[in-house]
């Protein structure tokens, strides 16, 4: 049974893999035997990431690539195929958020979020699926969100993108499941990473951020989750253990979606 969760001989590509959730997932995939490739938008971030992986004993291949740029993506996939091999596991993790009340948000800002959080997973998946079909197997893991299911003030673009990403996940399952390609999503709850730093910072009077207190009251575990807690669920969805799981969004949220919230 244990071997079902092994990834030896597999090549994983994690977008936005230099830090945060992508880094936590890549570490776990490496621990299960996968060879790690990752990309980020800036050379500096990639170099930081390569050094971080090295410090963790992982020989990761880093690529500078803006995942919204289709030409840059196809060039990167060609480089990975030349230098490492064909991608067996794609983790569409790169993402941004802009927290702006919808009526104050410019159409350009809305489009930017959709571009990174929804168009890019389409571009990335389209770039790797042909080789997965040739190889007779493939795994795509899309990093969705609580906002694939719920809305909240100021995140209209992000929720629209992550809701769309949930449906893109299901559509890739529908269209390519016949080629033994499984496309699933991971829906993290609230994770302590750079993207949520502003929601957790201490107030000038030293008290906890109201949003920090709110999230802890909405999470049965009463805490923010750690990026590393997404690793094992990702290994499951990247391995043969999940070959019969397709089009599923696995919520790793500490139970938020099941909980009305602690009575004040």
H or E element in which residue 46 lies: helix 43-55
Tell me the CA end-to-end span of the chain in Å, nearest whole number. 45
Among 190, 212, 239, 250, the residue binding ligand GCO under the rule CB under 6 A is 190
53 is catalytic: no
At 5, give phi and psi (nearest 5°): -95, 0
Closest among 253, 240, 143 to 182, alpha carbons compared = 240
Residue 77 contact partner, candidates ligand GCO, ligand NAP, none, CB within 5 to 8 A by sort of partner? none
The per-residue DSSP string of 60-101 comes to PEEEE--TT-HHHHHHHHHHHHHHT---SEEEE---------
Question: Does 19 sit near ligand NAP (CB under 6 A)?
Answer: yes
- Shortest spacing between CB 162 and ligand GCO, in angstroms: 7
Question: Does 156 sit near ligand GCO (CB under 6 A)?
Answer: no
**118, 158 contact by CB (below 8 A):** no
Which of the residues 8 through 67 are near ligand GCO (CB under 6 A)?
A: none
Among 97, 127, 172, 249, the residue binding ligand GCO under the rule CB under 6 A is 97
**128, 67 contact by CB (below 8 A):** no
Question: Does 116 sit near ligand NAP (CB under 6 A)?
Answer: yes
Question: Does 188 sit near ligand NAP (CB under 6 A)?
Answer: yes
**What does the alpha-carbon distance between residue 49 and residue 42 come to, in Å, rounded to a whole number?**
11
**What does the alpha-carbon distance between residue 262 and residue 264 come to, in Å, rounded to a whole number?**
6
Question: Does 246 sit near ligand NAP (CB under 6 A)?
Answer: no
Q: Which one of the spans 26-34, 50-58, 64-72, 231-239 is the region binding ligand NAP (CB under 6 A)?
A: 64-72
Q: Which of 158, 176, 190, 251 is catalytic?
A: 158
Question: Does 191 sit near ligand NAP (CB under 6 A)?
Answer: yes
CA distances from 142 to 56, 94, 152, 168, 176 (A): 24, 10, 21, 9, 15
Question: Does 121 sit near ligand NAP (CB under 6 A)?
Answer: no
Q: CB under 8 Å to 169, separation ≥6 — which residues?
A: 140, 142, 144, 183, 184, 185, 247, 249
Q: Which one of the spans 27-35, 123-131, 188-196, 200-208 is the region binding ligand NAP (CB under 6 A)?
A: 188-196
Residue 19 contact partner, candidates ligand GCO, ligand NAP, none, CB within 5 to 8 A by sort of partner? ligand NAP
Between 41 and 97, CB nearer to ligand GCO: 97
Q: Which residues bind ligand NAP (CB under 6 A)?
A: 15-16, 18-22, 39-42, 45, 66-68, 93-96, 116, 143, 145, 188, 190-191, 193-196
Residues that are catalytic: 158
């Amino acid at each position: 049974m244990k071997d079902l969760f092994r990834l030896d001989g597999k090549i994983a590509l994690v977008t936005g893999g230099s830090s945060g959730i992508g880094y936590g997932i890549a570490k776990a995939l490496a621990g299960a035997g996968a060879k790690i490739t990752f990309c980020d938008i800036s050379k500096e971030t990639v170099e930081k990431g390569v050094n971080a992986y090295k410090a963790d004993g992982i020989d990761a291949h880093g690529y500078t690539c803006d995942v919204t740029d289709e030409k840059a993506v196809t060039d990167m996939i060609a480089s990975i195929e030349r230098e490492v091999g064909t991608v067996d596991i794609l983790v569409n993790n790169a993402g941004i958020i802009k927290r702006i009340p919808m009526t104050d948000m410019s159409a350009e800002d809305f489009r930017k979020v959709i571009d990174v959080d929804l168009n890019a997973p389409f571009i990335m998946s389209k770039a790797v699926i042909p080789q997965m079909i040739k190889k007779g197997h493939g795994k795509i893991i899309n990093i969705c969100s609580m906002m694939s299911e719920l809305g909240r003030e100021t995140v209209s673009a992000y929720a629209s993108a992550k809701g769309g990403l949930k449906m893109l996940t299901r559509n890739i399952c529908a269209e390519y499941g016949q080629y033994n390609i499984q496309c699933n999503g991971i829906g993290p709850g609230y994770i302590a990473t750079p993207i949520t730093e502003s929601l957790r910072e201490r107030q000038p009077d030293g008290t906890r951020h109201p949003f920090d207190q709110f999230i802890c009251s909405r999470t049965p575990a009463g805490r923010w989750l750690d990026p590393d807690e997404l690793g094992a669920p990702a290994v499951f969805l990247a391995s043969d253990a999940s070959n019969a799981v397709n089009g599923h969004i696995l919520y790793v949220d500490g139970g938020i979606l099941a909980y009305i919230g602690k009575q004040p």
